[in-house]
A and B are shown apart, each in its own frame.
Chain A
Amino acid sequence: MSDRNAPPSANIAEIAENLFRHEAGKLVATLTRIFGLDRLRLAEDVVQEALIRALQTWPYHGIPHNPSAWITQTAKNLALDVIRREAVFRTKEAEIAAGLERMAADAASSARDASEHDIKDDRLRMMFVCCHPAIAEESQVALALKTLCGFSAAEIARAFLTNEATIAKRLTRAKQRIREARLEFEIPAGGELAARLDAVLRTLYLLFNEGYKASFGDSLVRAELCHEAIHLATLLVEHPAGDQPRAHALLALMLLNAARLPTRADADGTLLRLEEQDRTQWDQALIARGMMHLARSAAGDELSDFHLQAAIAAYHCAAPAYEATDWPRILSLYDCLVEMDGSPVVALNRAVAVANVHGPRAGIDAVTGMRNRGELESYYLLFAVLGELEARLDRFDLAAEHFERALALTATRSEQAFLFRRLRECEEHTPAAVRSI
């Protein structure tokens, strides 16, 4: 190793928290280009082995000065061993070896601009492969997490609250589809780009939402999913192929929502309502980045649902206090969003905005009038919202009924704790005579 004789930096604190995961994402993409997309599995194996070597070496010799160059160099050596051993590579050996040399030289080089550019191209290619319409949607997200973000099947399973075998099956199926459909490892161009970019944006949005929705799972893992989605969306908009208004809008909506993530629960893990959150703890750096991308999303005359969602999040972030929220504007954004996206969840959120502009009674009417309300009959948030609105009308007995119904529909501890608290608060307001009925 080139770093063997250099004094080790030996400072574990200097190592980026997700270094191995992100190196894995970069290297798998580059090795896939070099080996060919049909050998994705081989690229993954080589990278895994390189990281194992780091674990087996660094504790003894110290952490190398340039950890990412060390890992790349090791991956190159392992890959060279493989192509010399495997007959299928014989005809392409020289070409592949040259590609590997270039990869390692780029990683060690201080002139990073050119090489960074290539690496980004490779990751974009991989992103377009993972989000290819030929692959089932549920497999797309799993594949993106595995190949681009360096998650293991077990970690993906934990994030999606399913078992490892299910995720492993999805990954296998996705790789099978890649071969069957003979997908190309390329960034689509021309007329194809727009449609394929939409597919990428959908998958990243799905990934973010998996992390953002509070309905299940381990909160740390979920926050990580949000940050991975932001990481990938950032890579996307930094590339000419992804530098589109709606891509900026998606990134903006992720950043502006993620900025509020840490304040959504109290120290005991009980969910907090927007009006209860400590706004001083909102991540101002993320908000600033979000606002910047929101501004960039305004280029041109494109208006996607991402634009509307980002704008709604921006109004929340911009309000110094809950009371200062510009609800009329938020409501008009929801009115547009409902036109574009007929999902009942959007309609439910709109009803909350209605209540804040026109009062709780109007909010309840909006919920009652929802066209496809039936789809939400097993959604705890529907009843949590109704409970809140009834409580605002001081109809605590009705509110308690809704909270109890909501409670029966969620298995998440933070949500249950929140609903228990609201139920207690309702009881405090309900006269004993009513309670005993």
Chain B
Amino acid sequence: MSTELRTSEYLLLFRGAGWQNSLSPQELQSLMAQWVSWYEGLTQQGRVKGASPLLPEGKIVSGKKGRLVADGPFAESKEAIGGYFLIQADSLEHAVEIARGWPILEYGAAVEVRPVASECPVFADVHLPQAAAAGERS
């Protein structure tokens, strides 16, 4: 059974830490400016739904009733998420195309592009037969 959903919202997760450490003030400013311009461009197109940076510190809660609370070792990791943008795009391909414009890619960081499920997948399954039926009719 397919759980594919129609969605227009995508989460861009900016991954990677440490790429900025050896940059000079001039390079940092230039990247900041490029990144801000990229963001402003998306905002003007009405594509930005939300955006926030994430601080490197944090905790990981696990175990039954959350007995295990560990310090999030995110800071050093290549996988560390530095922030996210929630954007509107026409398709996953389109969202990927937008992500390609992130200026920090040049420095070895990565963007994870995730479609946001527009509703709970369980309900989507329930709706699917109707959708399929509608498809047959047309």
Contacts and interface: CB of A to CB of B under 8 A. Distances in A.
Interface of A: 10, 12, 15, 18-21, 23-24, 48, 51-52, 54-63, 150-152, 154-155
A57 B14 CA distance: 13
Nearest to A63: B36
Contacts of B31: 55
B35 A20 contact: no
B138 interface: no
Contacts, number: 77
Given A54-B28, A150-B26, A12 B20 contact: no
A302 B51 CA distance: 61
B118 interface: no
Contact of A21 (B26, B52, B83): B26
A375 to B, nearest CB: 36
Given A56-B83, A60-B83, A154 B24 contact: yes
Contacts of A52: 20-21, 23, 28
B108 to A, nearest CB: 15
Interface of B: 20-29, 31-33, 35-40, 51-53, 82-83
B24 A155 contact: yes
Contacts of B37: 12
In this complex, the member of A18, A20, A60, A61 whose beta carbon has the largest number of chain B beta carbons within 10 angstroms is: A60
Given A12-B40, A15-B33, A19-B29, A60 B52 contact: yes
A61 B27 CA distance: 20
Given A56-B20, A152-B27, 19 more contacts: A10-B36, A10-B40, A15-B33, A18-B26, A19-B29, A20-B29, A48-B21, A51-B29, A52-B23, A52-B28, A55-B28, A55-B31, A58-B35, A59-B32, A59-B35, A60-B83, A150-B26, A151-B24, A154-B22
Nearest to B103: A59
A369 B77 CA distance: 68
A71 B57 CA distance: 20
Contacts of A150: 24-26
7 contacts: A12-B36, A52-B23, A54-B32, A55-B31, A59-B38, A59-B83, A152-B26
B40 A20 contact: no
In this complex, the member of A54, A61, A152 whose beta carbon has the largest number of chain B beta carbons within 10 angstroms is: A152
A152 B24 CA distance: 5
B29 A15 contact: yes
